[in-house]
Amino acid sequence: MKHDIHIIGGGLAGSEAAWQLAQRGFKVRLSEMRGGGGTTPAHNTDALAEMVCSNSFRSDDDEKNAVGLLHHEMRRLDSLVMRAAETARVPAGTALAVDRDIFSAAVQRALDEHPNVTVIRERIDALPESGLTIVATGPLTAASLAQSIGAATGQDALAFFDAIAPIVHRDSIDMDICWFQSRWDKPSAGGDADSEGKDYINCAMNREEYLAFHQGLIDGEKTTFKEWEENTPYFEGCMPIEVMAARGVDTLRYGPMKPVGLDDPRTACEEFPQGRWPYAVVQLRQDNKLGTLWNMVGFQTKLKHAAQVELFRTIPGLQNAEFARLGGLHRNTFLNAPMVLDRELRLKEAPHIRFAGQITGCEGYVESAAVGLMTGLMTAAEITGQPWQAPPRTAAMGALLAHITGDAEAETYQPMNINFGLFPPLHDVNKKSRKEAYTSRGKADFGEWMMASELVTA
């Protein structure tokens, strides 16, 4: 079948993109390497949209939860992934969990039976030189194609090892304990001239607090590498904080927790009017342009999530911390999207190619599928010559797209789940009502966007 668009990768993002385009009358060639001369160690079957980790799409609550709002928006756009999830749904309280086999079979059947989709079992080893293409090959992109992507983007824009530091919601940090200051009061190079050397939030520790924290890192329960990750070496710049802690009790105080050049205002006195240097410091750096998310500098970790929450809330000023993302360290392939992709997810150096799913730096099944959905809509608009209007940033899809394509800082870009920290803030709303306010605003603005874009509601 002659095709209008070539999609490489039959995971959740590629399958969703294929569905959106096919439903709009475009001919799609969907290439999936499993069953066609290639596979990844994470997959167990050749089925499209196989879920390789959890069987959960997380919360389905669209009144108080960002991912639930994303579910709502995808359903309104007739998402294949959401259709299949309803078919395969299993009891999970307010979460949307599925029978993996039934889910995958439902996606496979819908695409196999669609007259506008041809599924080809083949491995693609290089980016096509021409023709509209969506690359949705996921976090374990085959080496040959990854090399081709690296050549097109620059190797420094493609990560093969994902060192993730925790990210904290700004409004959960206790600023009566913490303070703003850059080391030696130096403003960030090339940064905001008005920052006045106050680019970091600092959490000071005394000796007793530090020693207890250090021991917690040593004793905390750790995750282990997957089998296919075991030969992936640590990079010194990505060293897990607990590995550094194991090298010696003072290693962190000479590394990411060094206190030099930082004056704790709580210790101000006549001799030290600016305050004294603390014993150790945890620094947080702004992670998005909205200033709602702050990452813990140098805190990539293999601690299990529950252990992270328990230990990191012992840090002075973070006792009530709410985490937009917890730390991790694992093999991954993702683009530095803010650097190499435009606002329509096209490769700046080769705009006939779009990227979708986890390779763009989103995290999670639903987010991956949502980005696939948006690439389908973008490509349909491009083929028909219609201008593409992005979803509003107050909606989950718009917030996710904005993070991937420009709101995040390229220098610190890391995979991210959808969360309210990506949305334009609502400072004038009571904190207890803020989640409902985010979802109400998002639903209203998303509905208006659909009407303006002449998209049929589900």
Which residues fall in the annotated binding site?
A: 9-14
- How many Cβ atoms from other residues are within 10 Å of residue 350's Cβ? 16
97, 57 contact by CB (below 8 A) = yes
15, 81 contact by CB (below 8 A) = yes
From CA 200, how far away is CA 187, in angstroms rounded?
Answer: 10
15, 48 contact by CB (below 8 A) = yes
With H, G, I as helix, E, B as strand and everything else as coil, classify residue 433.
helix
From CA 267, how far away is CA 274, in angstroms rounded?
Answer: 8
Q: Quick one: which of 50, 69, 49 has its CA closest to 59? A: 69
H-helix or E-strand spanning residue 358? none
In the chain, count of helices (H) and strands (E)? 12, 17
- How many Cβ atoms from other residues are within 10 Å of residue 450's Cβ? 18
H-helix or E-strand spanning residue 296? strand 293-296
49, 15 contact by CB (below 8 A) = yes
Residue 271 is encoded by which pair of tokens? 């001799």
H-helix or E-strand spanning residue 105? helix 100-112
345 phi-psi bin (left φ>0, alpha ψ -120 to 50, beta other): left
12, 375 contact by CB (below 8 A) = no
296, 202 contact by CB (below 8 A) = no
Residue 167 is encoded by which pair of tokens? 């990210």
CA 71 from chain centre, in angstroms, equals 16
Residue for token pair 């590394």? 255
- Secondary structure, 3-state, 274-304: CCECCCEEEEEEECECCCCEEEECCCCCCEC
- How many Cβ atoms from other residues are within 10 Å of residue 222's Cβ? 13
Q: For the residues of 134-155, what is the DSSP string, one character each?
A: EE---TT--HHHHHHHHHHH-G
From CA 364, how far away is CA 253, in angstroms rounded?
Answer: 34
Annotated binding site for FAD: 9-14
Residue 321 is encoded by which pair of tokens? 């911390």
Residue 333 is encoded by which pair of tokens? 């392939």
